[in-house]
Amino acid sequence: MGRNRRGQLVNGWLILDKPVGLTSTQAVGRVRRLFDARKVGHGGTLDPLASGVLPIALGEATKTVPYVVDGAKSYRFNVKWGQATSTDDREGEVIAESDRRPEEEDIQAALPGFVGEIEQVPPLFSAVKVEGRRAYDLAREQASFELKSRQVSVHRFDLVNFLGPDEAIFQVVCGKGTYIRSLARDLGKALGTVAHVTQLRRLSVASFHESDAISLESLESLGHSPAALEQLLPVETALDDIPVLALSGAEAKRLRCGQAVSMVARHDSVRVKELANGSTVFTVSEGKPVAIARYNAGSVQPVRVLNL
């Protein structure tokens, strides 16, 4: 997700409100240049058509990216009935049409079938790899290929607004790897028609929400200034859902040196008792982050040391 380059040591999370028309890579590049950051990554790609929450990790925050990527995400999006496109959104060519338009009650009745652990085939224009190549590259070349179905988690799928016969607005909370374009496409099929996404906005990623986000325009207006640095959230913000384990100064030093720390002496600690073998913990000492660690057989072993 991140890469080493010359630049400043800047640590933290920036929650960008990505505008429509910009790729995630382009957005990350503009943030990297603004902060002159040595290391940067992001917490989940957004299509150019999509806007909304794009968490960008700088410096040591890149070590916490997997915990953001694996978190739940929520989206609000518009679906147009009666037309299927090559990309499953409004950027593609129309490849099929239908005169059928679903009624509001039909939509409501179909939604429960898309909640839970479901099988989903990604869009042909997606970043899924096929024999080492991205599906969207193969699709642009009009190559013949198929994408395999895979299981994804949809926690909620709500009809927000029925706009009439041609369009409706939905909101979804889902797990890692869920394609909203595929949900819209498959919902259209279930309703006896075809469909595609016309607008898409990400509202949250893991513990980061729309209310945390700053627009690219506002951020760039701050330039290279202390005010821009004030937009950064602490590295540990990404670890809000992970149990916190406080260490002594000596224990923290051992963990930072890559050594395991025994928790046997803490047998009376409720926190340690509650940990199962293989549990991930966020260790701190004197209020400062130390490492992401794994608890096993009465000790914690560092997984990623945070140099803060």
Q: Are 248 and 300 in contact (CB under 8 A)?
A: no
For the beta carbon of residue 271, count every other beta carbon within 10 angstroms: 13
- Please tell me the number of Cα atoms within 13 Å of 12 on its side-chain side: 14
* CA dist., res. 270 & res. 191, Å (int): 51
Residues 6+ apart with CB under 8 A from 204: 53, 72, 73, 74, 210
Local structure of residue 276 (DSSP, 8 states): P
Q: Count of alpha carbons within 13 Å of 60, Cβ hemisphere only?
A: 18
Helix extents (H) in 103-179: 104-110, 135-140
Residue 99 is a catalytic residue: no
Backbone φ, ψ for residue 77 (5° rounding): -155, 155
Single-letter amino acid code for the residue at 11: N
Residues recorded for the chain: 308
Find where tokens 């926190």 sit. Answer: 271
Per the structure block, which two tokens stand in for 155? Answer: 């926690």
Query: Active-site residue among 47, 88, 186, 212?
Result: 47
Q: Which residues are identified as catalytic?
A: 47
